Amino acid sequence: MDDLSRRDWLGTAGRLAALAAVGGSELRDPEVAGAQPRSADALVGTLKAARLFDLSFTWNDQSPVLGLNPPYSFALNRTHKMTHEIFGQAPGSRVSWASEIMFFSGQHGAPTIDAIGHIGRDLKLYGGVDAVAATSSPGGIGAGLGIDSFPVDLMISRAVFLDVARHVSGGRPDPLPPGFEITAKHLDDTLGAQAVDVRKGDTLLIRTGWGPLFGTDNAKYLGEQSPGPGPDAAKWIIAHGVRLAGDDTATFERRPAAYGKELFSVHMMLLADSGIYIVENMNLEPLSAARAYTVALVVTPLKIQGATGSPLRVIALAP
């Protein structure tokens, strides 16, 4: 597919966000510029013609969870045998069902997204909101900074995938070394090598190559030496007007996440200072294998009032 048609396709996918915000009126109004396709059938056809990439891992009780968070648990509390014995024995009834109980923190998932109010700097949240006041109730983060306030128009976005690990390793799919700090130069160099551009409002996905460790080597994946962006790369992300940034590690930023005495500088720079969402634990291997560097990304957090984050099922669409 040539560059023009690729841009057209991504433009169509990008307009889905606007449709969600205005109730689909663009599909009905022929006067709205650039509103193709103009029918639900045509829109579905466009999307069905795309390559679809699932950027999620399977979440189970063997998945890595940072010790700072509550543990994950899942169990069936009703099986089909149990419910059939209760409800399926009535005259004429043949029904059975299963149900489960789940316990998890919004701060882990595969992937997981951080709400803007998840991180503060000097007890201030994004926009200068008092962090103490905003979390004074166990009902969740206030001031519109919980995950329930995730913008509708960001649920579908143009995303640029930078395969930093492959670029650094000279084209091989090798992971970055432990503790490797991704800088602005790494992002610029990868951007140039892939011949893509980052525009204001885009989502940025960064591959470190550590995704395959998820569930296979949890100790290394959760350890204190994972690669990721440092403050220099965070400044690049902010300067380029990115609205959401994600990668394939447990903490997004390089670990140990300490610069002098300051802890988790990148989280503070993106969330608390700039209002940029962070996604962690992404499976970026499918995009790397396909060399899909510009995609339409679908991110839909659970709408939980005041939550500090949410597990996700993230998909990417490419021409």
Tens digits of residue pLDDT in 114-129: 999 999 999 999 999 9
The residue ranking higher by pLDDT, 62 or 6, is: 62
**H, E, C per residue of 230-254:** CHHHHHHHHHCCCCEEEECCCCCCC
Q: What is the bridge-based pairing of β-strands 203-206 and 156-162? A: parallel
pLDDT in tens, 244-302: 999 999 999 999 988 888 999 999 999 999 999 999 999 999 999 999 999 999 999 99
Rounded average pLDDT over 168-193:
97
Provide the percentage of residues in the chain whose pLDDT is more than 70: 88
Is residue 80 within 8 A of residue 49, CB to CB? The reply is no
> pLDDT confidence of 17, banded at 50, 70, 90?
very low
Query: Using an 8 Å Cβ cutoff, are 207 and 248 in contact?
Result: yes
Cα torsion 76, 99, 146, 298: sign: positive
Per-residue pLDDT, 12: 55
pLDDT at 24 over 60: no
Could you tell me how many residues make up the chain?
A: 319
3-22 and 40-48 are packed helices; what angle lies between their axes, rounded to 10 degrees?
Answer: 130
Nearest to 9 by CA among 40, 62, 50, 55: 50
pLDDT class for 14, splitting at 50, 70, 90? low
**pLDDT tier at 27, thresholds 50, 70, 90:** very low
Whether residue 16 is predicted with pLDDT greater than 70 in this model: the reply is: no
Q: How confident is the model at residue 13 (pLDDT cuts 50, 70, 90)?
A: low
- Residue with token string 């008092």: 130
Asked whether the CA dihedral 192, 194, 195, 200 is positive or negative, the reply is negative
The answer for 152, left when phi > 0, alpha when psi is -120 to 50, beta otherwise, is alpha
Cα 295 from Cα 278, distance rounded (Å): 18
Separation between Cα atoms, residue 123 and residue 21, nearest integer Å: 33
**Burial class of 190 by CB neighbour count within 10 A (0 to 12, 13 to 18, 19+):** buried
pLDDT of residue 192: 98
Beta-sheet pairing, 124-125 with 129-130: antiparallel
